[in-house]
Amino acid sequence: MVANLDNGRSVELRVNDRGPFVADRIVDVSYGAARLLGMVGPGVIPVRVTITRLAIGEHGAALGPAARFTVQVGSFISLENARVLERSLADGFPGVEVVRRTVGQDTYFRVWVGDFTRRADAQAVAEKLAGRGLAVLIVERDR
């Protein structure tokens, strides 16, 4: 989990073996993650990185064909901020929910839209949400 210490936004990332490519940085992130964190403009931000040992999936579940998907449109430290976004989307999108996740000792409130068996269906909703100016991320749901 990478959290922007300036604005409280966070994103769960999979770490691979690339970067960081500049000294004095602890992690480089993709453009998509940078958008979600609100760091595209500044380029470099103060972050907190929380590392878990789960390499395959949440609770060790293997990712595979029986997967279900959702569209994440926000991740907040504040439950109230998550609820504001949830309410703003509830009329136009079915299945909007706030999901609580604890990473290390930190708690995050993620706003998810939908429960899809096909990634393509999640992608279609993600495109509609992105059209509203929201930063979206398709994630695999817990089973």
Helix (H) or strand (E) segment spanning residue 85: helix 79-90
- Work out the pLDDT band at 25, boundaries 50, 70, 90: confident
DSSP per-residue codes, 39-60:
-TTTS---EEE---S--SSGGG
Statement: the pTM of the whole predicted model exceeds 0.75: no
When pLDDT is averaged across residues 71-83 and rounded to a whole number, the result is 94
When pLDDT is averaged across residues 50-59 and rounded to a whole number, the result is 53
